[in-house]
Amino acid sequence: MRRLVLLVALVGVVTAVVACEPTGADVTIALWQMNEAPGTRTMVDSGPKHMNGSIGSAVQTGVAFGGGATGYRWSTTDPDAPPVKPERLIRVSDSRLNPGSRDYAVTVRFRTTRSFGNMIQKGQALTPGGYFKWEIPNGRLFCLFRSRDSQGRLVGERGITAPRALNDGAWHTVRCEKTHDRVTMTIDGGTPVRSSASEIGPIANSMPLSIAGKVQCDQIQDTCDYFSGDIDWIRIEASTA
């Protein structure tokens, strides 16, 4: 943590005043390790807040990836063709997952060979209060954070696209962090890529966090954007401010 120290002389006594600056999204609020046994329908949060999720019946759990890793698998499907497949989704209903005005980061270890699909999101495009999502169009991961007021009017938004395709079938660990005015993406521990600066605004909605597609969709007016591939684990962090 960075500290700004001001020394003030008062009646011959030197007093140290310490002001702490924010350190970014550095506190884990949810950690889904996704290492449950085959057939499990509850995604266990091993983080401090125990925000467990409901696993749809089409999600394969207990998949051994090698090297001791275990996670979830989503079979290949057309992301936008009828019928709706809610059984492909994982849902976590907890308002504590709203970013609000905090610095907020989502990290996912995944692999895919597909060039489509929403990986994780809370809310959707026109949701009052705003939303965030990860999608992978054309194999290039895109992280978006959008703020809307209670009437659904746009307040601000920022997104960042991966500089290279990530649908090569290899494992990738990607972290996207929102601060008050930008989004930063870090791929496999490499050099961070930052969006341009513009105020985003607070994000809070009443929808559940969903993994592998949209909660509200009909494949006609609103496509479901189902994800196909493997996910090993997901971590969400936030600042203490």
Q: Are the C-beta atoms of residues 29 and 92 closer than 8 Å to each other?
A: no
- Give the integer Cα–Cα distance in Å for 197 and 184: 11
DSSP assignment string, 192-230: -EEPPP-----B--SSPEEESS-SS--SSSS------EE
Nearby residues of 149 by Cβ (< 8 Å), 6 or more positions away: 128, 129, 155
Residue 10 binned pLDDT confidence (cut-offs 50, 70, 90): very low
Alpha carbon distances (Å) from 23 to 20, 147, 167, 179, 237: 9, 22, 32, 10, 12
Q: How confident is the model at residue 11 (pLDDT cuts 50, 70, 90)?
A: very low
In tens, the pLDDT along 160-209 reads: 999 999 999 999 999 999 999 999 999 999 999 999 999 999 999 999 99
The model's pTM is 0.89
What mean pLDDT do residues 103-127 have? Answer: 97
For the domain spanning 24-238, the CATH number is 2.60.120.200
Beta-carbon contacts of 9 under 8 Å, excluding residues fewer than 6 positions away, are: none
Nearest Cα residue to 114 out of 80, 143, 146: 80
* pLDDT level of residue 16 (50, 70, 90 thresholds): very low
Cα atoms in the 13 Å half-sphere on the side-chain side of 146: 21
Is it true that the peptide bond before 83 is cis, omega within 30 degrees of 0?
A: yes
Average pLDDT, integer, range 234-238: 98
Domain boundary assignment for the chain: 24-238
Q: Are 182 and 197 in contact (CB under 8 A)?
A: yes
